[in-house]
Amino acid sequence: MKIFVVDDSKSVHRLLEEMLDLPDLSFQHAYNGEEAVNAVKETNFAADLILLDWEMPLLSGIETLPLIIKLRPKQTIIMMTTKNSMADITEAMQKGATDYIIKPFTKDIIIGKITTLLEGGM
């Protein structure tokens, strides 16, 4: 399984790799929305899941989300953010997020969400 992590914080990338240190799991990384969209445009892009941060420079996650969905309508995307209002959650889901996770989250929470979304466990 391949997970595409899109977050401007390198520490979040490291934390996710540590939390999800499982066999047969690989990671691809982008540090802003522009990098993410460019990666998704590549013909060989094949992530099973995108973990997308909301607040990033150049192109925010909420701006990136519909661009990715336009390119790959069936892509599984979990928004990761400290934004926790119902309006924010609703906006993300309306723009194409598959699920939403509020930072900070625990290993159990992220693995539970991923397992549920990808049906079959890790």
CATH number at residue 77: 3.40.50.2300
Per-residue pLDDT at 43: 87
| pLDDT in the model for residue 120 | 56
Looking at the structure of the chain, the number of domains it has is 1
Prediction pTM value: 0.94
Cα(63)–Cα(54) distance, integer angstroms: 8
Query: How many C-beta atoms lie closer than 10 Å to residue 95's C-beta?
Result: 18
- 70: tokens are 């336009």
pLDDT for 122 equals 47
Instruction: Say whether 19 sits in a helix, a strand or coil.
Output: helix
Question: How far is Cα 103 from Cα 35, in angstroms, rounded to an integer?
Answer: 22
For 96, the domain range is 2-118
pLDDT tens, residue by residue, 109-121: 999 999 888 775 4
Q: Other C-beta atoms within 10 Å of 79: how many? A: 26
Q: For the chain, which residues score pLDDT lower than 70?
A: 120-122
